[in-house]
Chains A and B, each alone.
Chain A
Amino acid sequence: MKQNVSTSAGTPGIKAPRGKAGTLLRDIIRDKWLYLMLLPGVIYFIIFKYVPMYGVSMAFMDYKPYTGFLGSPWVGLKHFERFFSEPQFGMLFRNTVILAVYNLVFFFPMPIILSLMLNEVRRAKFKNFVQTLIYIPHFVSWVVVVGIFYILLTTENGVLNELLYRITGEKIAFLLEAEWFRTMIITQSIWKEIGWGTVIFLAALAGVDLQQYEAARIDGASRWRQLWHITLPAIRSTIIILFILRLGNFLDSGFEHIFLMITPTNREVGEVFDTYVYTKGMTQAQYSYSAAVGLFKSAVGLVLVLGSNWLAKKFGEEGVY
């Protein structure tokens, strides 16, 4: 960009350097302002995205803050070997996979069912009213969601536990008992995201030509048949894409959410890869070890995303990337 001094470069009349390299140079000079605008963003991505990617090499070192990044010794796969032989490895793997499967089975279908129900509503005002209300929980933080569940379910005067006590005569410590942990996580996820999850399906359904329904009715199709032959095919590819995206993020269990819900009594079922990285790295200062765990998770995640994208294309869908 040394040629920047000539501000009129690129305008007609100026002799352009010949050849391929010449055109490249001319284009760069022409777009100098654009490159200048790119600069802050490029620097941001380098510093906060790519430097940490390079920094992940600390997973192969014994990183000590006082010896610094360059002064720490390389130890090869030591931390990975330790991680795979730890008894926690099996526990983390099991917890993550069980939560992910619960998510796919119980959470994933919910917004689809709800959007089908909303799609059957013919009164626009009623539909808008319901939509306005069910989107609200999406916009509050996980802290508020978990906080509200604590307030409703605590065994000390929580209103739902009081109700339970009046009916069954006993209280359940939903938030402390390990056996309730997964149910709580999934219930909270559904409560927060079921409404918001319908947005994308309703948008797909808005594109359906209403004449299709009319034609189907004239042919004597019942409401269920219309649902099966018109509505569901309209959102089929959206469902497949979202399912595949979800498969790609299989290992992401919703870190903030789980972090908030973990207590010493449910750690056995609640600890997942991300929370383990935090516990080992930030609270116990085992930096290299936790970076290794994080790298393992990111690498598996990358394979899952690319694999599921490949799967999508195999199914004749467009794929996401």
Chain B
Amino acid sequence: MLQDKTIGNRIFDIINYTLLILIALVCVLPFVYVLAVSFTSPAEVARGGLILWPKEWSLASYRYIFSTDTLFRSMLVSIYITVVGTFINLLFTSLMAYPLAKATLRGRQFILLAVLFTMLFGGGMIPTYFVVKAMGLTNSLWSLMIPNAISAFNLIVLKNFFQQIPDGLEDSARIDGCTDVGVLFRIVLPLSMPAMATFGLFYAVGHWNQFFSAILYINDSRLYPIQVLLRQIVILAQGSIGDTSIDNIEIQPLTIRMAVIVFATVPILLVYPFLQKHFAKGVMLGSVKG
């Protein structure tokens, strides 16, 4: 559809496009800057100024942050909780969503209301902490995966999604002797792969980005996920991760922080194309209505 080519419209378009480009740049340039500086030689960084493309490349800051295994270990912790945690999320959420999608299930309304209520009211940080502690989960990585195994919101959206799957397919499997469990894993889940991918990505990003649960539940610094380490290094500027005995006095502390940020963000940016493809669908997948 074409707009009329009046001068007013032209001016409007030019201003609109320019502003949009500016906003997009403001959203992206900080990442580009951090990425570029982390690869720039200490000498060029020391001269200052805005660096969006390194003239003198250098891996000095990366050599420094990987000179001890602190960063490497917390990356492994984060990868572990992201992979295992997301698997637990998807398994628990779909196992619970499927029965709730069956209108004839007795007690369904009651359970749905009970789930909905947890979105409105909760015990809060302190009582939850004591429950996690009483379960013996504190100071183990399970404390980062089990206490948030099911998101009530995702559960209800997935339940609505399952309801849209035609009953005929499930019935034919049942006639062939499938139990309800078999129907879920052989018929319903394979049909719901796009939805599962969407929820998986959302859960995974949540796991990768979480830091407060770790601060609350984990004391052992060897079990810290990457975000906790990132906070110590970048925001609190405490705790060194590199081997201070190597001669890198010339590396700017800011550059080291940027290298750590890059490492904490790259996995997100790697899955971003998939996120981008699925998320809008995910947001619109269903409404909150039960």
Contact = CB atoms under 8 A, between A and B. Distances in A.
Interface in A222-262: 223, 255-256, 259-260
Nearest to B99: A34
A122 B129 contact: no
B281 to A, nearest CB: 10
Main secondary structure of the interface of A (DSSP, over half): helix
Contacts of A132: 276
B121 A141 contact: no
Contacts of A158: 254
A122 B180 contact: no
Interface stretch (B21-29, B57-65, B68-76, B243-251): B21-29
A199 B102 contact: no
Contacts of B116: 321
Contact of B126 (A51, A58, A120, A144): A58
B172 to A, nearest CB: 16
Interface residues of A, number: 95
A73 interface: no
A37 to B, nearest CB: 5
A121 interface: yes
A49 B111 contact: no
B7 interface: no
A291 B102 contact: no
Interface string B8-44: 1100110011011101111110110110000000000
Interface in B197-212: 205, 208-212
A56 B122 CA distance: 9
Contacts of B168: none
A33 B180 contact: yes
14 contacts: A37-B96, A41-B95, A44-B92, A48-B132, A54-B123, A58-B130, A122-B2, A132-B276, A151-B234, A195-B27, A223-B12, A282-B129, A282-B216, A302-B120
The 8 A-B residue pairs whose C-beta atoms are closest, nearest first, are A52-B123, A41-B96, A294-B124, A55-B127, A141-B209, A33-B180, A147-B234, A34-B99
Interface of A: 24, 27-28, 31, 33-38, 40-42, 44-45, 47-56, 58, 69, 114, 117-118, 120-122, 126, 129-130, 132-137, 139-144, 146-148, 150-152, 154, 156-159, 162-163, 191, 194-195, 199-200, 203, 210, 213-214, 217, 223, 255-256, 259-260, 274, 277-278, 281-282, 287, 290-291, 294-295, 297-299, 301-302, 305-306, 320-321
Given A24-B106, A40-B92, A130-B24, 17 more contacts: A31-B102, A34-B105, A35-B99, A41-B92, A42-B96, A55-B128, A56-B123, A122-B3, A136-B269, A140-B265, A142-B211, A150-B257, A163-B50, A259-B212, A290-B125, A291-B127, A298-B121
Interface of B: 1-4, 8-9, 12-13, 16-17, 19-21, 23-28, 30-31, 33-34, 48-50, 92-93, 95-96, 98-100, 102, 104-106, 111, 114-116, 118, 120-132, 135, 146-150, 155, 179-181, 184, 205, 208-212, 216, 227, 230-231, 234-235, 252, 254, 257-258, 261, 264-265, 268-269, 272, 275-276, 279-280, 283-284, 288
